[in-house]
Amino acid sequence: MKVLVPVKRVIDYNVKVRVKPDQSGVDLANVKMSMNPFDEIAVEEAVRLKEKGAAEEIVVVSIGPSQAQETIRTALAMGADRGILIQSDVDVEPLAVAKLLKAVVGEESPGMVLMGKQAIDGDNNAVGQMLAALLDWPQATFASKVELSGDKASVTREVDGGLQTLAVALPAVVTTDLRLNEPRYASLPNIMKAKKKPIDMKSTGDYGVDVAPRLKVLKVTEPAKRQAGVKVADAAELVSKLKNEAGVI
C-alpha cells in the first residue's frame, strides 16, 4: 500500500510569534521554520506502518515556496521514500489545498492519506475533511491509534467524552492527533541519505487549480496580556469577588 502524507512548512512551535507593525499578518522575516508538528506525527505513523509491513511506499507532498524542500527533506530523513513539492508563493487556503491534494491522489493512487489534523499557523482543521469530501472517501479524524487489517483500518479517535473507535474501508483519509506517537529524530546517516531521495517539483498550474485567495485578513493582533492575580484572605472574600467583580456566579 502507498501512503500519501501532506506536510506543511510553518513557524517553529518554539518561536514566539510576532505581529507586523501594520497588523497585516505575522512577521516571517528571519524566523525559524520547521515541519508542522501534527504532520510530523503523520510522517512518523506512516514510517511505523512501513516498518510493520503494512505500507510499501511513503510519498510526502508539500505546497509552498521553494524553501519547503527542507521540510520534505526532513520527512525523507525520517523514513519517507520520495517527495512532491507544489510551488506556490501565495498562502494557499484550505479548499485550494484540498483540491491540489485531490489531484495528487489522482496521480499517485495511494491506499491512505495520512495527515495532521491541523496546521499550527492557521489552525483551520479543515483540509482533511474537505479532501475526504472531494474524494468521496471515508475519513477518521483526530486519530490517537491506527491499525490496519486487510482493506480496512481501525482508528481510535479522541472525542469530548473519551475515545471512539471507527472501522473505515480503504482508501481513506486519516488525520492525526498529538497522542498518536512520538516522532523520531532523524539520524545523521538518514539525513545524508535523504539528500539523494527524489523530490518532484510541480506548480499549482500543473494541476489546473485556482489558488487565488477568497478570504481577506483585515487585522492580526496579539492576545491581550493577562492581568495579575490577587490574593484573598478567606473563602468569603473569594466568593464575594467572583460574584461582584468577576460576575461568574
Compute the distance between CA of residue 73 and CA of residue 60 in angstroms, rounded to an integer.
9
pLDDT at 245 over 90: no
Helix (H, G, I), strand (E, B), or coil: what is residue 139?
strand
pLDDT at 213: 87
Portion of the chain with pLDDT greater than 70, in percent: 100
Domain ranges (residues) in the chain: 2-246
Sign of CA dihedral 137, 138, 140, 145: negative
Give me the pLDDT at residue 176, please.
95
Average pLDDT score over the chain: 92
Residue 24 has pLDDT above 90, yes or no: no
Q: First-to-last CA distance in the chain? A: 56
pLDDT surpasses 90 at 29: no
Spatial separation of the C-alpha atoms in residues 17 and 163, rounded to whole Å: 33
Query: For residue 190, what is its C-alpha cell?
Result: 538518514
Residue matched to cell numbers 506525527: 41
Model confidence, pTM:
0.86
What tens digit of pLDDT does each residue of 147-178 get?
A: 999 899 999 998 888 899 999 999 999 999 99
Structure confidence at residue 161 (pLDDT): 84
CA distance 209 to 59: 21
According to CATH, the topology of domain 2-246 is: Rossmann fold (3.40.50)
